[in-house]
Amino acid sequence: MLYELRAIIRTPKLFGQKRHADAKAFCENLGKLILNNRGVVRQIENNGLLQLQNLVRKHGEYFFEGYKVTLLYDCSPVVQQQIQANLRNDPRVLSCKEFSHNVTMKDKTKKTSSERVFSHSK
């Protein structure tokens, strides 16, 4: 099944670390989890640094900025439960939202989203 994950990842507090280090490590770990369980990672998109409107408290710390990351992947429902547990316990994740796309195999092979839109309207 096709899933989309939008997450806001914290920025590291240590000086000398790159600001995107936690976002990169998060995407690598999640990608390995999906690939090791016969899934497919279709797209990883870094939407850049995001200034949060309010202070976010997570695991006893306050954050005012984070990296917004979007992942598009295929996996089984069992693996999706593992991903959800991983997201709840990961201290790097400030917030996340998951979407499930009920798409048939025929729609997955279409190249553009406009082809999907126009084929459903007929």
CATH number (domain holding residue 52)? 3.30.70.60
Residue whose pair of structure tokens reads 């439960």 in the numeric block: 81
- CA dihedral (3, 63, 45, 84) in degrees, to 10, reads -20
Q: What is the pTM of this model?
A: 0.75
Please, are residues 7 and 93 in contact by the beta-carbon 8 Å criterion? yes
What residues contact residue 121 under an 8 Å CB cut-off, 6+ apart?
none
**13-17, 34-38, 43-47, 108-112: which range is least confident on average?**
108-112
Q: Positive or negative CA dihedral for 66, 67, 68, 71?
A: negative
* Tens-digit pLDDT profile for residues 54-90: 998 888 889 999 999 999 999 999 999 999 999 999 9
Mean pLDDT of 5-19: 82
Q: Count the domains in the chain.
A: 1
Residue range of the domain that includes 82: 2-121
Residue type, position 59, single letter: H
**To the nearest whole percent, how much of the chain has pLDDT over 70?**
81
Residue type, position 45, single letter: E
